[in-house]
Amino acid sequence: MALLWGDVPAEQARHSLRQALVELRRALPNGKTPTLLAECDSLVLNPDRVEVDVAVFEELANRSTRKTLERAAALYTGDLLVGLTLREAPFEDWLRSERTRLRERALHVLRQLLAVEVAAADLEPAVQTAIRFLAIEPLSEPVHRTLMQLYEQLGRRSAALRQYHFCADLLQRELGVAPEQETRRLYERFAPKAGAVASTNAVRRPSDRGDTFDVSCDASVTPDRAHSTHARLIDGP
């Protein structure tokens, strides 16, 4: 109760909980098997009646086969309970912690899936997985490099070079640093002119779309939305 009604007396909190349970039971499906289960001092959703996407995501993530990783990756579409605001510090602390934990699990899933796809030479799926990873963690240089290499293997050298500039611009704006030497060497290997030197010039959007694309500071940008915007930026209209 402290998570939801931490600023009121215990009796009032219990009353609010009872009211909430009445509303829940009205809203949830009825039947011979209850949807809400009381276990000592806990209330849980009956897994036989209600599928919880977070629980399914975590179960799939634990299996680590390509099929289950693909399903887990598809389930993660953004931060937990986006748009929910509750003026209770304990709840906000819990929600922030859970969002971070699940985000890290999603990154782990995508990292594993990307490795499997690269090893199998499934280049197009690997590109999509790398883009999804960068939508969540845009400052990951190793994944930017992997994406550059995938574009090159697909014969899309211009996309590989644009990916470098996209990465360089993001690192400069967010961290004030240039790409790592390994990233610069990869660019120089792909650049059309012999001996070309990697730059850190920004990649520009079309004039009606602002200066540059940045997902790192906007919590409202979901992975799917960022994926779509990234694809337009790198591949063009």
Residue 236's pLDDT is what?
Answer: 62
Q: 82 pLDDT exceeds 60?
A: yes
pLDDT per residue as tens digits for the range 22-35: 888 788 776 777 88
Whether the per-residue pLDDT at 17 is higher than 90: the answer is: no
Q: Tokens representing 35? A: 């949807």
Task: Say yes or no to pLDDT of 21 above 80.
Answer: yes
CA distances, 42 to each of 24, 37, 46, 104, 206 (Å)? 15, 8, 12, 27, 54
Q: How far apart are CA 69 and CA 175, in angstroms?
A: 31
From first CA to last CA, the distance across the chain in angstroms is 51
Q: SS3 breakdown of the chain: % helix, strand, coil, rounded to 5?
A: 60, 5, 35
Average pLDDT over residues 106-127: 98
Token look-up 């997902």 returns 215
Residue extents of the structural domains in the chain = 10-45, 54-120, 134-237
Inform me whether the pLDDT recorded for 214 exceeds 50: no
Which of these, 131, 218, 129, 112, lies nearest to 174 by C-alpha position? 218
| Residues 193, 194, 197, 198, CA torsion sign | positive
* Per-residue pLDDT band at 232 (split at 50, 70, 90): low
Is the model's pLDDT at 81 over the cut of 90?
yes
- Residue 55 or residue 214, greater confidence: 55
Q: Residue 218, class by beta-carbon neighbours within 10 Å (0-12 exposed, 13-18 middle, 19+ buried)?
A: exposed
Distance between CA 60 and CA 209 in Å, rounded? 38
